[in-house]
Amino acid sequence: MSATAPAQNESRTLTGAEIVLRALKEQGVEVIFGYPGGAVLPIYDALFQQNAIRHILVRHEQAAVHAAEGYARSTGKVGCVLVTSGPGATNAVTGLVDALLDSIPIVCLTGQVPTHLIGNDAFQEADTTGITRPATKHNYLVKRIGDLARTVHDAFYVARSGRPGPVVVDLPKDILLTQGTYEEAPREEHRSYRPQTRPDAESIRKAVALLKGAKRPVVYAGGGVINAGPEASELLTEFVRMANMPCTNTLMGLGVFPASDPRFIGMLGMHGTVEANLAMHGCDVMFNIGARFDDRVTGRLNAFSPGSKKIHADIDPSNINKNVKVDVPVVGDAGQVLRALIEAWKADDAEQDREALANWWKRIDEWRAKDCLRYEQSGSIIKPQHAVKRLYELTRESGRETFISTEVGQHQMWAAQYFGFEKPNRWMTSGGLGTMGYGLPAAAGVQIAHPDALVIDIAGEASILMNIQEMGTLAQYRLPVKVFILNNEYMGMVRQWQELLHGSRYSESYSAALPDFVKLAESFHARGLRATDASQLDDVIREMIAHPGPVIADICVDQKENVFPMIPSGAAHNEMILGAGQAGGVAGVTDEGRVLV
């Protein structure tokens, strides 16, 4: 009997595997990313006998989680993963930690040895709940068939509620084979986990008072606003425009505020813009919504925005005052916080200091005029910045809805700097964990969710090899993902740090035996393209976009190019190293190109 049995038979007993699938269907799951093995074969057998849920066979369990992350981030739904016991579960751990740090809702179903063998070092046994406890928001080990359906329902509730995150449900094989009755998802409020979503009115009042009285305000928005849904991004845009305040985004928050809006001052942090970092340093009131004061944003904590009053709105109360002490904490869902803030702002009779605000914008525009992302494309060698900028411009020219994923490294930062995002949920990248190998499987997950969209993985030649086997997934499911490799033959960010911080001692950062990516693409039934000269770049990008199937485009770029601006490790966020020729005229810049304000 399948999990999609006729309604008149719903009361009869089902196997545990069928109960799992019925619970997934009730939770709205349409796609599972997984890889079979002995402990989960009962679920795979039940999948074979139904048509409600589609299964995508990846080539590695880590990739299954990243694909589910891409699916979740681009849709706002919970991503679903199915892996077997032992190595299947342990291979998924990197993806689970990635989802935990970036607040991505994932439910990962892991197989387990039969209950009577747990703890006996049985074949393909691992202590999955022990291993994944620090890697997940929560996890479960199901030992009774009567607990199975309720546990799956709980897992989805926990994954998507409050601060989203990954949840593991460990399923012993005997539980999957045992007969039981199905229990529908509870309709009442969860008995123990009830995260606060509505902000406290007094906190909102204090926030409005600070912001209206600010002479040098900054709005600092992160991925939490994206997690709150599209309406939250619309409300953020409404508030920033209404209050005429500068807005900066974290790496995870790109797209939450339109990049083309003149109030957007760019990404902040280690490779953020001069205007964003100096505005954060010089502001008198900072409004942080949906960001966690990550170390890549703050730089040295004791020098971070030292003169500002800080408002921090976050759905996770444990994030508040964890890294940076704030003056006005606001606990709540980002969308509800912004709605309450706008209402309170309009109801408040106090006026902003328009003259001070105009002077603040004048100062920001002076920083912006330094054009810290300026680069020079001349001659035949392709500058990586130019490659990303032309990719951005030609995708816009195509008129297609575009989603971007990245691997991790220099190419990731260039993508963040030069590819403008107007909407949320179009940018998939590994922020907190910095997982090389994330981008290709994430792009596959995005393409599954958006079959008609243009999905591009901006990659490095080192990162792409971490999960290159997922080209097989693209081939099997005819997913037209485009892989755009900025190939400098180095682990680029490692090489950059070695050059700037370790006396140019390039220890093990050169890739001495790279594959021919064109032939590699062809071996995976994809199209391979290559640009070695700047004159070839546009034609390769256009051909990549136009091709109806998967493509690997090998873009051979300047090997010596570095990502600037850059805040060195251990420096303050107003101490930036700029590119050659960019330091002149910025107040407080040393001869070495470091900005000191």
Candidate list 10, 123, 343, 543, residue with the active-site label: 123
Cβ 428 vs Cβ 405: under 8 Å: yes
> What does the H/E/C string look like for 92-117?
CHHHHHHHHHCCCCEEEEEEECCHHH
Of 186, 150, 155, whose CA–CA distance to 79 is shortest? 155
Give the whole-angstrom CA distance, residue 220 versus residue 198. 20
The encoded tokens of residue 539 equal 């034609």
Give the whole-angstrom CA distance, residue 232 versus residue 2. 39
Q: In which region does residue 381 sit, left (phi positive, over 0), alpha (psi from -120 to 50) or beta (all else)? A: beta
Ranges of beta strands (E only) in 448-513 are 454-460, 482-487
Candidate list 49, 50, 124, 469, residue with the active-site label: 124
Give the whole-angstrom CA distance, residue 585 versus residue 588. 9
The encoded tokens of residue 218 equal 């900054």
| Angle subtended at Cα 185 by Cα 181 and Cα 190, rounded to the nearest 5 degrees | 130
Of 346, 288, 294, 284, whose CA–CA distance to 315 is shortest? 288
The H or E element that residue 577 is part of is strand 576-577
Q: Is 124 a catalytic residue?
A: yes
DSSP assigned state of 453 = S
Query: Phi first, then psi: what are they for 125, rounded to 5°?
Result: -100, 140
The encoded tokens of residue 329 equal 């904490």
Give the whole-angstrom CA distance, residue 249 versus residue 290. 10
Q: Is 61 a catalytic residue?
A: yes
Give the whole-angstrom CA distance, residue 246 versus residue 218. 5
One-letter amino acid for residue 4 of the chain: T
Q: Is 123 a catalytic residue?
A: yes
Candidate list 18, 27, 33, 61, residue with the active-site label: 61
DSSP assigned state of 231 = H
Cβ 156 vs Cβ 78: under 8 Å: yes
The 3-state DSSP class for residue 331 equals strand
Q: Is 519 a catalytic residue?
A: no
If one counts every other C-beta atom within 10 angstroms of the C-beta of residue 13, the result is 13
The encoded tokens of residue 108 equal 């990962």
Candidate list 493, 544, 566, 576, residue with the active-site label: 493
Q: Is 173 a catalytic residue?
A: yes
Encode burial over 502-528: b for 16+ CB neighbours within 10 A, e otherwise: eeeeeeebebeeeeebbebbeebebbb
Give the whole-angstrom CA distance, residue 80 versus residue 65. 8
Helices and strands (H, E) in the chain, number of each type = 22, 22
Q: What is the largest CA-CA distance in the chain?
A: 80
Candidate list 77, 137, 173, 389, residue with the active-site label: 173
Give the whole-angstrom CA distance, residue 338 versus residue 236. 6
One-letter amino acid for residue 241 of the chain: R
Cβ 292 vs Cβ 269: under 8 Å: no
Residue 61: C-alpha distances to residues 11, 68, 94, 436 (Å) = 35, 11, 9, 15
Residues with a known catalytic role: 61, 123-124, 173, 493
